[in-house]
A = this chain, B = another copy of it.
Amino acid sequence: MGTASELIMYDYPTLLREHHLKATPQRTAILQVMAHEGHISIEMIYEKIKGLFPSLSLATIYKNMIAMQEQGIVKELKIAGFKNRYEIQKQPHHHMVCQKCGSIVDVEFDVAQALEGVSKSHGFELKQIDLSISGICDKCR
């Protein structure tokens, strides 16, 4: 945090418009909560912002998550043993999940090169890598 290139990511209205989505207060709030909470579920988002928008509909969140996924702004995380969670797209990274407390930590680890070889040998055009490792985190031991 602190450099211009990082700060610009917090201008969510602009980010939305750049992706041909209207910058509504609801959308901006969703992104702010996601930025603050990290890996978050639909109804956690709902709980966090329904105070700001008393008439907020759950459907609004679902619809926005779909729209923002299509635009590559957010990403759905399907992790064994947990309900789906969402995060804002950022640098490629993977996840480290504690099976006890459910905490999710980002880890940067480059598997791309090795997997290029694997996929190439299958005539497979590699688009995306989803990797999560599960275990027991430092705190829970």
Given contacts A78-B79, A78-B80, contact A130 B134 (CB under 8 A): yes
Q: Cα distance A126–B135 when bound, in Å? A: 5
Task: Assess whether A134 is in contact with B141, with CB atoms less than 8 Å apart.
Answer: no
Stretch at the interface among A14-22, A36-44, A51-59, A107-115: A107-115
Task: Assess whether B124 is in contact with A80, with CB atoms less than 8 Å apart.
Answer: no
The number of times this chain is found in the oligomer is: 2
A129: CB under 8 A from chain B?
A: yes
Size band of the interface chain A makes with B: 20 to 34
Contact partners of A128 in chain B: CB under 8 A:
80, 99, 133-135
A136: CB under 8 A from chain B?
A: yes
Contact partners of A109 in chain B: CB under 8 A:
114-115, 118
Q: List residues of chain A with CB under 8 Å of any chain B CB.
A: 76, 78-80, 96, 98-99, 105, 107, 109, 111, 114-115, 118-119, 122-138, 141
The 9 A-B residue pairs with the shortest CB-CB distance, nearest first, are A123-B138, A78-B78, A127-B135, A125-B136, A128-B134, A131-B131, A126-B135, A125-B135, A130-B132
